[in-house]
């Protein structure tokens, strides 16, 4: 489980993505069934405040990901490709940042669009790279009714 340390250097992995479930080629991939993975867990190993290494999460973005993944079927697609396929307004939604006390764990939908913040100025180490929980049964998603989907696309 990689951990981020303080650094002013560009880390190279900054960018919106969803968590992948399996390694394929040179990145992590996922599919609409989330292939065996349940909740995304963000573990805080030290206190994380507004100036520290934190994860930025786009509120409600998980509702817009399944229609992007569905056409890829069981084969799936790279988690880093999902944000580019979303309507730009999704990335303009309110953002929340995973901050808290050492020992806190934030549980999120595995399709939430998120990114690591940079630069990393924490005096201590920050949150671990995300871990996912296993599903007991395959994930089954229902379509969002069009009126509800229209309301959710507003930032």
Per-residue pLDDT of the chain (155 residues; tens, 9 = 90+): 555 666 777 766 668 989 888 889 988 898 988 776 788 888 887 788 877 777 899 999 999 999 999 999 989 999 889 999 999 999 999 999 988 898 888 889 989 999 887 776 655 555 455 566 677 776 666 665 555 455 555 44
- Above pLDDT 70, what percent of the chain? 68
| Neighbouring C-beta atoms of residue 64, cutoff 10 Å | 24
Residue 76 lies in a domain: yes
Residue 79 lies in a domain: yes
2: number of CA atoms within 13 Å, CB side?
Answer: 6
Residue 16 lies in a domain: no
Residue in this structure with the two tokens 């084969």, named with its chain if needed: 75
Which alpha helices (DSSP H) does the chain contain, by range? Answer: 66-69, 82-85, 146-152
Per-residue pLDDT of 39-49, as tens digits, reads 888 888 778 88
User: What's the structural domain count of the chain?
Assistant: 1
Residue 154 lies in a domain: no
C-alpha to C-alpha distance for 149 and 153, rounded to whole angstroms: 6
Can you give the pTM of this predicted structure? 0.78
Residue 147 lies in a domain: no
Q: Look up the domain containing 96 and give its range.
A: 22-133
Residue 152 lies in a domain: no
CB contact at 8 A, 80 and 33: no
């Amino acid at each position: 489980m990689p951990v981020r340390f303080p650094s002013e250097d560009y880390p190279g992995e900054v960018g919106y993505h969803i968590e992948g479930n399996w390694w394929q080629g040179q990145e992590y991939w996922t599919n609409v069934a989330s292939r065996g993975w349940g909740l995304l867990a963000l573990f805080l190993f030290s206190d994380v405040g507004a100036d520290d290494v934190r994860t930025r999460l786009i509120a409600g973005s998980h509702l817009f990901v399944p229609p992007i993944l569905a056409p890829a079927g069981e084969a799936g697609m790279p988690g880093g490709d999902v944000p580019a396929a979303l309507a730009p307004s999704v990335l303009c939604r309110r953002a929340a940042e995973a901050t808290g006390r050492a020992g806190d764990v934030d549980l999120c939908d595995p399709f939430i669009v998120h990114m690591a913040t940079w630069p990393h100025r924490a005096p201590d180490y920050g949150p671990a790279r995300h871990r996912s929980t296993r599903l007991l049964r395959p994930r089954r998603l229902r379509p969002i009714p069009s009126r509800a989907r229209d309301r959710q696309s507003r930032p």
